[in-house]
Amino acid sequence: MTALPSATLLRRGFTLFEVIMALLILGLLSGAVYSISRAALETSKAVQNEQSGARRLEAFLRVARDAFLNLPADGSVTLQFSKSAQGAPVPELVLKKAAGAFGVPSLGGGSLVLAARPQADGSRVFAILRIPGGVEGMDLDRFLQQAAWIPLLPGVEKVRWQFFNGNEWAEEWLDGNGRPLLARLEFDYQAMPGSPVGVEFWIPPLQPPQPPGTQAPPPAPEPPDSNAPAS
């Protein structure tokens, strides 16, 4: 068989089939590179969102813990429930005479409310509101609905408060119950799915002044271990 001259090979070029195959291979390679790059960007974005959410959660828990630790001698803790505009129950933790809590420098005899307020997407947001002294009754209800709440931590769900009274945990803590020894907060956090948040806050107990030379009172009882098996 006689070989074709080099000039004939140059004039022949690529066939249509070869061009289509080359474009197909180029498209497959481009799609693979795009998929890898997109997956890497989404992974990086998810990691950044989770880190940002963890920082917001840490900051919220820190200021909440400071609010309980710095509760003055005449301060008190109350858990009450209100209703949102859609009728959903809203747990509201009321700290009375808690000057300096959550960055509020002075309350002037008023109260500070930490509430898990419902959002349009079905989640809740921890928000605080300062209530001036003397606002009560219908004026208080109107104030809670119309005032500008300060959001602290968005994307929370299934919020639950509990209080330790020295013997057991209570789901409610009404005004006049005194001062709990511990407050427990549990909720789901959208920025960290699959890992519900549970934290306990120690509240300094009120100790009456002791005469000189008297023996110090015994320490407050430890809360029951919720993970211990029942006898």
Work out how many domains the chain is built from and give that number: 1
- Give me the domain span that covers residue 75: 52-202
- Distance CA(158)–CA(85), nearest Å, equals 18
Quote the pLDDT of residue 108.
62
Helix runs in the chain, H state only:
6-12, 16-69, 137-146
Any domain includes 223: no
Any domain includes 149: yes
Any domain includes 140: yes
Per-residue pLDDT of 21-78, as tens digits, reads: 888 888 888 888 877 877 777 776 766 767 788 899 999 999 899 888 888 888 889 9
Q: In the numeric block, which tokens belong to residue 144? A: 């809670």
Q: What is the pTM of this model?
A: 0.68
- State the average pLDDT over residues 102-120: 79
Alpha-carbon radius of gyration of the chain: 31
Any domain includes 8: no
Any domain includes 33: no
Any domain includes 214: no
Any domain includes 22: no
Any domain includes 17: no
Quote the pLDDT of residue 125.
95
pLDDT band at 230; cut points 50, 70, 90? very low
The secondary structure of residue 213, as a DSSP letter, is T
- Neighbouring C-beta atoms of residue 117, cutoff 10 Å: 22
